[in-house]
Structure formats: structure tokens, C-alpha cells
Amino acid sequence: MARFSIPIMRFVFLCFWAASTEAVYMKYKDPKQPLGVRIKDLIWRMTLEEKIGQMMQIERGFASADVIRKYYIGSVLSGGGSVPAPKASAEAWVDMVNEFQRGALSTRLGIPMIYGIDAVHGHNNVYKATIFPHNVGLGVTRDPVLVKKIGVATALEVRATGIPYAFAPCIAVCRDPRWGRCYESYSEDHKIVQAMTEIIPGLQGDIPANSRKGIPFVSGMTKIAACAKHFVGDGGTIKGIDENNTVIDLHGLLSVHMPAYIDSIRKGVSTVMVSYSSWNGKKMHANHDLVTGFLKDKLKFRGFVISDWLGIDKITSPPHANYSYSVQAGILTGIDMVMVPQDFVEFLNDLTFQAKNKIIPMSRIDDAVKRILRVKFMMGLFEKPLADLSLVNQLGSQEHRELAREAVRKSLVLLKNGKTIANPLLPLPKKASKILVAGSHADNLGYQCGGWTIEWQGLGGNDLTIGTTILTAINNNVDPSTRVVYNENPDVEFVKSNKFSYAIVVVGEHAYSEMYGDSQNLTIAKPGVSTIHNVCGAVQCVVIIVSGRPVVIEPHLATMDALVAAWLPGTEGQGIADLLFGDYGFTGKLARTWFKTVDQLPMNVGDPHYDPLFPFGFGLMTKPLRDN
């Protein structure tokens, strides 16, 4: 045996050396390895607990570095209004995100977590961020180049706070303005919504020409992963009731609500969020045929599918009534990452039990994890998981505010201009002896920005963030000799006795989000109607409607000399004054039908018996008084 001792020792040594080398060299950590090799290598190393951890997204209020380390959490989010501190700086956001990330990196395999946030009209959760017009206004512009620029700016501001993932854009086709999320929709016309998916390459970067169909793409550290939502048909629910049932045949679903998803996937969108709503009575969170069969198999989407907030809980009625069934139904439907904000341990235990007992096959778990890892690898999170402070000056930058101001100008629609065509009121003279500004929305930045701004439901008042109210913008634009009088709700005698040259009345809806915005009457918030009649009955007036959708104005229209739909313009109210006083001309055309009465709803362009107050595509134009 002695003569074999040296070869045997050499063999043992080589085996030990190979094993130790393999321990040091992990293919998934090598950026030179092909994407598929990295994913396969990492999944092969993962335990079931680590895989399920990747499939969970928890709320930052319930997260910590220790929690992330203990449960191998794959993603953290900020819900609406969930911030590290009131009016937190970009630096504070970066510190918080990095603290969570260090927890993820300290796990056995060091898989980075991905932090997500609802940046739906700019980085709207964050103090001092640029708040762009909501989508209902951007659809009016019919300008995909502008919307792409907004995507670029939003990505920079989101990255400025250390966040690499936004739950945007919403590509719902709102078919009934009674829906509380209608302002998140670009239009009732799917063609406009399709064009506006150009925001995706703005957020993520332009997809390479040779990219495979459906592969997610994020081009660098100034870009973020986007999320097309809410799949599918959320804008078509009965009576516009949020999270309700969309009753439409397959042809209608594919021709109205699906086209923007096809465009989004073609542009490399990284993730798709499932809708709370149902299609013909089937909950979308439990619709395997559409989520797996159509989105993943037919459209070849290779990013990950994410649930909405507590989305799988709502598969049953009442929610959470049979949680084990909901977990099984949601995961087998094809949902890869589950937004379980608070009770993530319950989800983990339930899914672990079902996987170990082959109720949910490991192939489904592996598919989910593969998709999540694909996005993380594509984004470069493994190479640069920690954020730095190099982009903090992008938050609310002047360049982005100027872009938002341009978007406001292009999103306004002039619906009426003068009691007769021969006597237009707009543009208004900057030089006048005395003018009146009235209305609950004239000096209210919160109403101007609407929901999904700092708080989930939005806020009233001017202290929520930095911006320019319409009143301030008017003061900035008029001649220094012009006296501007602000009275929120004046009576008729006040208006008559002051002998104003003209008046600007700004009224509309209060801030709201989701189901809290569902409305069957669509009226202007009190005392808006009385303000219109008190002012416009006594002096020449232009009325500006600040709202997330068309509202009832037909009974009051004759009283007004001019009418402007301003939608939810965001922080840059100066864009409204730019048009009122003729620095720029009105160019916006309605991307939504403006009804006469709510009894007509739903009513969309192309419907039989189409009889609107202002039709889809309507908008008066004015010329600027000077070149710009």
C-alpha cells in the first residue's frame, strides 16, 4: 500500500483544493458570467427558506436589518406616506435604504433586496421632490417625448433617495370617471395610453435593439425598474367602483385594456402588478389563464409579477377569510413577489408548508425566484447594492421643475373662451387696476397635487412640500402695478363693490386616492359652485377646475366667461399662469370625454348615442402674445 500513498495524498489534496476553490468562486457573483448561468448557480445554492424570502415584499415600518437577515427578505417598500421621518432629506432616505440593504447583504448568500415605492407622478412620497401632473393631465399632451423626459427625471429623483424600483406607470384605461383612480389613467382611449408607455424607457433606459422579447431591462445606476399596473382591466369596473368587476368579453379586454401591456413588455418593463379587480367575476389575483397563460406564456414576459398591497388576501370575501387558499391560489396563478406588508411570517409559514407538502410545486417557486433574480441581476444590484449620495442634488432640481412646468402648460385644456367667439377673455391682461383671485383651490398646493402626494390620500394646505400655488403664480406674472386681491369665497356684494377688472376662480376636487375617490355624483367640492356664481355673476371671470377627472359643470357653464381644465397639475403652478396671461398658448386636447350629466356614464368616444358636453379631442387654442 505504501507505493499508493503519494498518489492518494495528491488526489485528496486536489479534491480539497477544488472544493475550497469552489467555495471561494461563486458563479452568481461574477458579472462576466452569462445571466442565465448566474441565476442557475444561485438558485442551486438556495434553501427553500431563502427562496420564499425572495418572494416577500414587506413594508418599511415592519422592516429592519435584523428582520431582513432573519427571514431573507427579498424586497421592502414604502407605502403611501411611509417615510423615514417627516420631511426627510434625500440623505436620510439613502441611509435608511442602505441600512436595510446591509441586512440583506449579511445573509449567507448576500442576495441584495430591492426597495420599491409609488413614484406615480414624480417621487411623490418625498419632501421637496418635483411633483408632475397626474397622468390624466399628461394624456392631454399626447406627447410621448415629454412623458419620456418625465420618466428620466423621476428616475433620477428616485435614485437620489437610494431607491431602485417604482410602482409606475399605471396604464389603466379609465372608462368611467366615477372611478377613484381615474386620474392615474392617461386616457379613455387605449391608443393614447399605449403612446404614454414611453415613460418606461425614460425610467429604465432604452432597450437594446437586439434584446429578446419580454426580457426586463434597466440600463444603469441613474435608472430604476418600472412596473406596469394594474393587470388587467382595472379601469373598466362597473360604475367605476374601485376593485370591482370588469364585465367585458375577451375581445374587448384584449382590444381596450391589454394593448398598453404589450407595448410595455416590448419596451422591457421589469415588473407587472396585478389588479385588485375581477374580470367577469374572476379575481385577477387568482386568474391563472391571464397572469400565467397570457402574460407569461403568450406575451413572453420574463420579469416578475408582483401582487398589489395585500392583494392575495383579497382573493376571498371577506379578505383573509381562508388565507391558505389565498396563498395557494395567488402563487399558482403566477404571482412571483407578494406584497405582504405586515404579516409576512404568516405568509412564509403557509407557503413553506405548501411547498414542503407539494401543494405548490418547487418548479413554481423556482420560476418565481428566477424572475426576481433576473431583474436584480439586470439592474446591477449584485455589483452595486448600496446607494451613495452622488444624486441627492437631483431631488427637486430646477431643471426638473422647469420640465414639470412645461408639462402643466401642455396639459391644460381651454374649454370656453368668452361669451362669444368674437370676444375672448383669454389671454388676460397682465396690467389691470385690480383683479380678484377666488376659490378654495387658488392657494392650496395639496389640492393642486392631489392624492398620492406625501400621504396616500394626499393633503390639503401648503405645508406638504415645496411648490408654487396658482395664486403665487398669478402674483408672479401680473404687472407690478396690478393689485391682486385674494378672497377664497367672496359674496356678491364684495365682488360688485370692488369694481375688479376681472376675476380668476379656482375650484375643484379635494385630494383622494383609490376607493376613497369613488364618486357617483362627481361634483365640485363645496363651496366651489357658490364661489363661481357669486363671482362670475358680478364680473368677467375665468374658472379653473382642479380635478382628477371631468366633473359636473354644465349647469354653471353659462355663468362663466372662460373655463380651463387644469386637472391635477402638481407643484409647478407657474405653468398655469404662463397660459392665462399669454406667455404661451393653449394647445391641450381632451383625452377624456366631458359628460353633461352623470346619468350618461359610462360614456366614451365611439359609443353609440355619444352626446357629451365637450367631446374627446376638444380644446380651444390660443396664440402666445410674445415669442418664447
Q: Which residues are catalytic?
A: 308, 514
Stated as kind and residue range, the H or E segment containing 508 is strand 502-508
User: CA 606 to CA 175: how far, in whole Å?
Assistant: 12
User: CA 176 to CA 181: how far, in whole Å?
Assistant: 10
Q: What is the largest CA-CA distance in the chain?
A: 119
In the chain, the amino acid numbered 125 is N
Q: Are 323 and 346 in contact (CB under 8 A)?
A: yes
Q: Are 115 and 125 in contact (CB under 8 A)?
A: no
Neighbours of 358 (CB within 10 A): 8
User: CA 1 to CA 79: how far, in whole Å?
Assistant: 70
Q: Which of 124, 59, 129 is nearest to 89 (CA)?
A: 129
Residue indicated by cell numbers 417604482: 166
- Whole-angstrom CA distances from 214 to 76, 163, 196, 554 are 25, 24, 19, 46
Alpha helix (H) residue ranges in 163-269:
190-196, 199-204, 250-252, 259-266
- Whole-angstrom CA distances from 119 to 157, 224, 562 are 10, 11, 34
User: CA 123 to CA 452: how far, in whole Å?
Assistant: 10
Q: Which residues lie below 8 Å from residue 126, measured CB to CB, with a gap of 6+?
A: 83, 88, 90, 93, 157, 161, 395
**What are residue 465's DSSP bridge partners?**
none
Phi, psi of 239 (to 5 degrees): 55, 20
